[in-house]
């Protein structure tokens, strides 16, 4: 029996693991409060001779606990009046530092929304910026299940995006934003929600949040497959100039500027670009600029002013019939209609402020967007020019679509988030709003192949669209290891559509006043007069519940469940006066597990997610209409796994997605969706050797993609795609030399494949049975760059 | 976690396995196509038949240029008011290239191009009688060339015909509000030919053409005599007299002339 047990003389509270604090911004999982119990063995002098963990809190917490107890000083136990060796149990409590939870505006920078589970990916581009990427859309590949391709629309055309088994076409099923400014174009006739990311300079993207599902009440219209938020910034300070030249006579000049005394979110960038393209009719020109200033208002508020400008002109090869290529009618990199291409321009301004007042945080943002685009595409050749009785006799004049769209968008978003404590736990409630108005004019005509003149007007719409969304979002902590987040969002969609070409034919024309060949007619049966237009208005509210639960972390593992409903408004051409506005409604659920741990030499984050999504009214691309049109309900089920590891000299990311998409009524596969998507991004970086007193740094980046055979109509399967890209660079002081290669295996591949009817040769008997079409993928390309940074750090 | 990962792997395998068997439905196939004269004909010999108008017709030469063949899913009941060259329904098979078929030859003559089809059931067939562009105002292609003689009541009418479908076949519109009511393409398409067949992989399309049907309503005694020694009557390459009009209609008859079958 001891006379006196050992006792603590001086005690140092353990440090909260730094890696946890650093990872908080990435994972958005709440930082846990927890206890670790350590048994220390003391010698007769009260010195710690050994220590072991009795009750673990996870490796990093255990390490901090052991480190702390070794700095304690003890009075030894006394037995029979003499100090003796003894064992002593030390409970240690870990609590996140006050600034870390909740995560609020600290100095500058916007507050990140809380995580919705394993499928809520926060992606730092970081060192993976060395991996060759053609544009900002390519960065989406850092999120699992994303696959991109060009469907022949040309360099300035939006990328076709696949996400979790969705053929999101040109972004219609993903809500895109950059710095809070929406990108999806409501009312775009080519595809409602068309999202052209080409205005974004990829070097200015520092981070992405890709939420693969409609699980966050902040997500609004078009968040069908999910949402992608681009966060802009510039790590390097000073003025950087980068010149690139390479294959296909591609030339690019990029200027980036980051004032040394400002945060990374104050920057400016400008780029000019041109290329002949990798085959016939692929020439393109582009200029774009982006800028942002971030400043502070007092000690508790920050604001940002941002702008962007973009213009492009491009040609496009379009789609080719496989049989035409096989019969040498057209080259693999050729075109069946050299009149295809387009132009595009986009400008936006935005201002936002975030501030703290007591335990409440506010944010508000206003933005304005001007957008115009012209698109000339011919999917079917000479097939659709139907002879109407009232028209002069004509043959097939050509199916070239000429679509021009002009849109002005203005909007607001804002939120207030209040943190409070209840039953010893911290909780939060957020109320937010989103408002957006769009004025869209769309004119789609068919242009004659010989005359290049429009001969038919298919659509002439002037639309005024409004989307007002309100949401309430709560974060409730039932225990340090159990958080439930969720709430309700409701969106009001209002349409005011002027169809300037509502009457396109007359069933019984009058001989006295024949309607002739005009497309938009001002008479009905037997010459009865009516104006050619039709005005329609309608509005509908769509409530959208969303909830997620997160358990953990337990030894680095966190588990999550999420459910949410999403919505996609229809394009204005489907609006009928006072009829209920048709929407696509989405039900989505996922169950995931994630693991995050920092080790001595590296950090590791792993996610595994099972998901299921149902869309009651899906959209399928119609080659005859040249745009996405409404189809039947579909359901997707699948799994995606991803991992990313970062160390002192490497950064590696990999993901695998397996998915099936089926029509509800027939059980048949949804066409064009890849069953398997695999992606790898890797970067190595290190100082190589000193030169004139400064290190020469080397970087190597490799990107690899595999896309499984996609289901095509009529039981067909597309080819698989494998792409290998790599880049290497040497940097010294303010200079950097880089060489990049894309499709290094130089595989001749078809990036987009379709089965449908076309007839590209009007002088031979028509081809009226569905046939395989494709857009050629880019062959190997080699590009060299030199860049210099002055007045700052590279 | 191990269990979770194991489950994940199982699901992954299941998804991939299911994907391998899953389909969007249907199938695209290639097939060979043939055309031939009636089985009753004897190759290299004249083809003799009785016409409904009481003529005994002896054909010594009968060649039809089949420009293309199509099969469609739909059943078209009326084509009168339709000005479209194409049927509204989905085309399930095509032989998009043609040749001159010796319709006095019962053995199968292959089309020069491969046929393509989905595996959907077809209800309507179309024979395109053109050299290429179905909408071309002028098409010098000889779609039918015949030579023979017709006998009735002891009177013999040696005849020949060279038929094109070009400007002379245009039917002018009588309604100024509907100038496009009779597009030339409608003159070049034999439709709707009733069929009930389903293309299958490995099968072939056979079109049998019975030239007897071309002459069903022809009154040979109204033919124009173009040569006296020896006498020769000739069909006009337009539709301005009864025999020429009815021969042209016979070429475009959607029953009794063209038999479209699928051979497994």
A751 and A708 in contact (C-beta within 8 Å)?
no
In this prediction, residue A22 has a pLDDT band, given cuts at 50, 70 and 90, of: low
Ramachandran class of A145: left when φ > 0, alpha when ψ lies in -120 to 50, beta otherwise: left
List the single best residue of B24, B112, B165 to mutate versus A (max A Cβ within 10 A): B24
pLDDT tens for each residue of A487-496: 999 999 999 9
How many domains does chain B fold into? Answer: 1
Mention every residue, 6+ apart, whose C-beta is less than 8 A from residue A594: A27, A29, A118, A557, A558, A559, A560, A605, A606, A607, A608
A121 and A210 in contact (C-beta within 8 Å)?
yes
Residue A518 touches partner B, C-beta closer than 8 Å: no
Q: A–B: how many Cβ contacts below 8 A?
A: 159
Q: Which residues of B touch A393 (CB under 8 A)?
A: 179-180, 183-184
Q: Which of residues 351-370 of A touch B (CB under 8 A)?
A: none
Could you say which DSSP state residue A501 is in?
A: T
Rounded to a whole number, what is the distance in Å from the CA of A513 to chain B's nearest CA? 7
Residue B8 domain flag: no
Least confident of A57-71, A589-603, A629-643: A57-71
Q: Which residues of A touch B28 (CB under 8 A)?
A: 714-716, 755, 769-772
Q: Does residue B6 surpass a pLDDT of 80? A: no
CA–CA gap between residue A381 and residue A319 (Å, rounded):
10
pLDDT tens for each residue of B151-166: 999 999 999 999 999 9
Residue of B nearest to A671 (CA): B24
Q: Does residue A669 surpass a pLDDT of 70? A: yes
A632 and A616 in contact (C-beta within 8 Å)?
no
Beta strands in A480-601 (DSSP E): 482-499, 534-554, 557-569, 583-598
pLDDT value of position A290: 98
Burial class (CB in 10 A: 0-12, 13-18, 19+), A689: exposed
Distances (CA, A) of A229 to A181, A200, A209, A271: 9, 12, 5, 22
Please, what is the end-to-end C-alpha distance for chain A in angstroms? 67
CATH numbers and ranges of domains, chain A: 7-100 (3.30.2420.10), 210-790 (2.40.170.20)
Q: Cis ω on the peptide bond leading into residue A283 (within 30° of 0)?
A: no
Q: Which residues of B touch A608 (CB under 8 A)?
A: 4-5, 8
Task: Please tell me whether residue A680 adopts helix, strand or coil conformation.
Answer: strand
ipTM reported for the complex surpasses 0.85: yes
pLDDT value of position B9: 46
CA–CA gap between residue A60 and residue A166 (Å, rounded):
39
pLDDT value of position B246: 96
Q: Which residues of B touch A711 (CB under 8 A)?
A: 22-24
Range of the domain at B207: 26-263
pLDDT value of position A612: 95
Residue A720 touches partner B, C-beta closer than 8 Å: no
A316 and A157 in contact (C-beta within 8 Å)?
yes
Strand partners, A790: A239
In this prediction, residue A271 has a pLDDT band, given cuts at 50, 70 and 90, of: very high
Cβ contact A662–B22 (<8 Å) = yes
In this prediction, residue B1 has a pLDDT band, given cuts at 50, 70 and 90, of: very low
Rounded to a whole number, what is the distance in Å from the CA of B149 to chain A's nearest CA? 33
pLDDT value of position A264: 86
CA–CA gap between residue A445 and residue A460 (Å, rounded):
9
Beta strands in A694-794 (DSSP E): 694-707, 711-712, 716-717, 721-732, 735-742, 750-756, 771-776, 781-790
Cβ contact B8–A641 (<8 Å) = yes
pLDDT tens for each residue of A389-427: 889 999 999 999 999 999 999 999 999 999 998 988 889
Least confident of A8-17, A72-81, A277-286, B109-118: A8-17
Cβ contact B178–A390 (<8 Å) = yes
Q: Does residue B2 surpass a pLDDT of 60? A: no
Burial class (CB in 10 A: 0-12, 13-18, 19+), B229: exposed
Cβ contact A389–B184 (<8 Å) = no
Is A95 or A113 the better-scoring residue by pLDDT? A113
Average pLDDT over residues B238-246: 94
CA–CA gap between residue A110 and residue A229 (Å, rounded):
13
Distances (CA, A) of B224 to B164, B244, B250: 18, 10, 19
In this prediction, residue A602 has a pLDDT band, given cuts at 50, 70 and 90, of: confident
Least confident of A510-519, A554-563, A603-612: A510-519
User: Quick one: which of B54, B47, B95, B89 has its CA closest to B72?
Assistant: B89
pLDDT tens for each residue of A115-132: 899 999 999 898 999 999
In this prediction, residue A26 has a pLDDT band, given cuts at 50, 70 and 90, of: very low
Rounded to a whole number, what is the distance in Å from the CA of B4 to chain A's nearest CA? 8
pLDDT value of position A576: 79
Q: Does residue A106 surpass a pLDDT of 70? A: no
A226 and A197 in contact (C-beta within 8 Å)?
no
Q: Which residues of B touch A394 (CB under 8 A)?
A: 135, 180
Mention every residue, 6+ apart, whose C-beta is less than 8 A from residue A1: A79
Least confident of A24-33, A96-105, A259-268, A738-747: A96-105
Average per-residue pLDDT for chain A = 89
Task: Please tell me whether residue A338 adopts helix, strand or coil conformation.
Answer: coil
pLDDT tens for each residue of A443-484: 999 999 999 999 999 999 999 999 999 999 999 999 989 999
pLDDT value of position A358: 85
Q: Does residue A504 surpass a pLDDT of 60? A: yes
Cβ contact A389–B178 (<8 Å) = yes
Residue B18 domain flag: no
Average pLDDT over residues A426-430: 93
- Above pLDDT 90, what percent of chain B? 76
pLDDT value of position A506: 85
């Amino acid at each position: 029996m001891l006379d006196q047990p050992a006792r603590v003389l001086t005690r140092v509270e353990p440090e909260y693991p730094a890696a946890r604090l650093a990872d908080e911004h990435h994972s958005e999982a709440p930082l846990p409060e927890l206890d670790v119990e350590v048994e220390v063995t003391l010698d007769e002098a009260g010195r710690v001779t050994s220590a072991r963990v009795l009750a673990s809190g996870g490796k990093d917490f255990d390490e901090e606990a052991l480190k702390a107890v070794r700095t304690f000083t003890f009075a030894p136990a006394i037995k029979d009046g003499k100090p003796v060796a003894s064992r002593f149990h030390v409970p240690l409590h870990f609590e996140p530092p006050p600034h870390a939870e909740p995560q609020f505006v600290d100095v500058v920078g916007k507050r990140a929304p809380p995580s919705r589970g394993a499928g809520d990916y926060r992606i730092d581009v970081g060192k993976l910026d060395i991996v060759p990427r053609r544009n900002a859309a390519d960065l989406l590949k850092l999120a699992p299940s994303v696959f991109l391709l060009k469907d022949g629309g040309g360099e300035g055309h939006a990328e076709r995006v696949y996400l979790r088994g969705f053929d999101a076409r040109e972004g219609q099923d993903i809500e895109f934003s950059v710095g809070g400014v929406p990108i999806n174009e409501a009312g775009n006739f080519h595809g409602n929600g068309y999202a052209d990311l080409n205005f974004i300079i990829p070097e200015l993207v520092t981070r992405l949040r890709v939420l693969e599902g409609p699980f966050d009440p902040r997500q609004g219209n078009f968040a069908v497959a999910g949402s992608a938020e681009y966060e802009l910034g510039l790590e390097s300070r000073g003025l950087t100039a980068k010149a690139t030249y390479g294959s296909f006579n591609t030339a690019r000049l990029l200027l980036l500027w980051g004032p040394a005394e400002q945060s990374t979110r104050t920057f400016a960038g400008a780029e000019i670009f041109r290329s002949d393209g990798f085959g016939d009719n692929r020439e393109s020109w582009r200029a774009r600029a982006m800028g942002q200033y971030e400043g502070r208002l007092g000690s508790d508020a920050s604001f940002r002013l941002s702008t962007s400008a973009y213009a492009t002109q491009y040609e496009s090869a379009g789609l080719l019939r496989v049989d035409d290529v096989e019969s040498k009618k057209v080259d693999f990199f050729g075109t069946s209609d050299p009149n295809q291409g387009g132009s595009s321009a986009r400008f936006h301004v935005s201002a936002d402020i975030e501030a703290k007042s007591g335990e409440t945080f506010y944010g508000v943002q206003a933005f304005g967007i001007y957008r115009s685009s012209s698109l000339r595409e011919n999917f079917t050749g000479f097939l659709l020019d139907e002879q109407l009785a009232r028209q002069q006799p004509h043959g097939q004049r050509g199916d070239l679509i000429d679509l021009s769209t002009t849109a002005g968008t203005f909007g607001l978003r804002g939120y207030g988030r209040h943190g409070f404590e209840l039953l010893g736990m911290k909780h939060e409630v957020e109320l937010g709003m989103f408002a957006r108005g769009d004025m869209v004019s769309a004119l789609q005509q068919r242009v004659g192949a010989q005359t290049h003149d429009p001969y038919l007007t298919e659509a002439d719409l002037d639309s005024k669209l409004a989307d007002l969304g309100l949401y309430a979002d709560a974060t409730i902590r039932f225990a340090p290891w159990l958080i439930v987040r969720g709430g309700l969002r409701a969106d009001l969609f209002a349409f005011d559509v002027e169809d300037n070409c509502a009457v396109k034919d007359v069933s019984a024309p009058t001989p006295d006043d024949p309607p002739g060949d005009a497309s938009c007619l001002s008479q009905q049966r037997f010459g009865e007069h009516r104006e050619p237009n039709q005005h329609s208005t309608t509005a509908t509210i769509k409530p959208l519940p969303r909830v997620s639960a997160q358990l953990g972390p337990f030894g680095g593992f966190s588990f999550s469940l999420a459910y949410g409903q999403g919505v996609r408004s229809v394009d204005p051409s489907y609006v009928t006066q006072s009829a209920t506005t048709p929407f696509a409604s989405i039900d989505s659920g996922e169950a995931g597990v994630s693991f995050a741990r920092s080790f001595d030499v590296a950090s590791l984050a792993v996610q595994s997610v099972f998901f299921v999504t149902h869309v009651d009214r899906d959209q399928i691309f119609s080659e005859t209409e040249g745009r996405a049109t409404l189809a039947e309900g579909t359901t997707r089920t699948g799994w995606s796994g991803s991992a990313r590891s970062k160390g002192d000299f490497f950064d590696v990311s990999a993901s695998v997605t397996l998915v099936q998409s089926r029509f509800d009524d027939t059980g048949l596969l949804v066409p064009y969706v890849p069953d398997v998507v695999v992606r790898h991004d890797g970067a190595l970086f290190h100082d190589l050797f000193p030169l004139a007193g400064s290190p020469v740094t080397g970087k190597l980046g490799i990107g690899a993609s595999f896309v499984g055979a996609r289901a095509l109509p009529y039981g067909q399967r597309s080819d698989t795609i494998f792409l290998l890209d790599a880049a290497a660079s040497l940097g010294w002081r303010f200079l950097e030399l880089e060489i990049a290669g894309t499709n290094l295996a130089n595989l001749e591949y078809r990036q987009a494949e379709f089965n449908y009817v076309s007839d590209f040769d009007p002088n031979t008997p028509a081809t009226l049975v569905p046939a395989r079409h494709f857009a050629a993928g880019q062959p190997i390309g080699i590009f060299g760059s030199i860049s210099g940074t002055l007045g700052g750090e590279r | 976690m191990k269990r979770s990962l194991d489950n994940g792997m199982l699901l992954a395998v299941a998804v991939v396995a299911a994907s391998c068997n899953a389909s969007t439905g249907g199938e695209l196939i290639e097939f060979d196509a043939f055309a031939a004269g009636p089985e009753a004909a004897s190759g290299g010999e004249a083809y003799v038949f009785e016409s409904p108008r009481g003529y005994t017709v002896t054909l010594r030469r009968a060649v039809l240029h089949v420009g293309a063949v199509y099969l469609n899913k739909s059943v078209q009941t009326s084509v009168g008011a339709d000005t479209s060259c194409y049927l509204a329904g989905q085309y399930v098979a095509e032989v998009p290239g043609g040749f001159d078929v010796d319709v006095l030859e019962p053995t199968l003559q292959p089309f020069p191009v491969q046929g393509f089809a989905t595996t959907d059931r077809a209800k309507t067939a179309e024979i395109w009688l053109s050299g290429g562009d179905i909408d071309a105002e002028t098409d010098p292609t000889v779609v039918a060339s015949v030579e023979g003689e017709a006998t009735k009541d002891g009177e013999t009418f040696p005849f020949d015909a060279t038929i094109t479908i070009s400007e002379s076949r245009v039917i002018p519109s009588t309604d100024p509000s509907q100038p496009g009511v009779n597009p030339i393409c409608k003159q070049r398409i034999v439709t709707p030919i009733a069929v009930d067949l389903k293309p299958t992989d490995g099968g072939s399309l056979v079109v049998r053409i019975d030239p007897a049907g071309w002459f069903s309503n022809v009154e040979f005694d109204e033919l124009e005599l173009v040569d006296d020694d020896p006498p020769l009557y000739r069909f006009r390459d337009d539709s301005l007299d009864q025999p020429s009009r009815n021969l042209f209609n016979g070429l475009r008859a959607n029953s009794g002339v063209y038999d479209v079958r699928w051979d497994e």
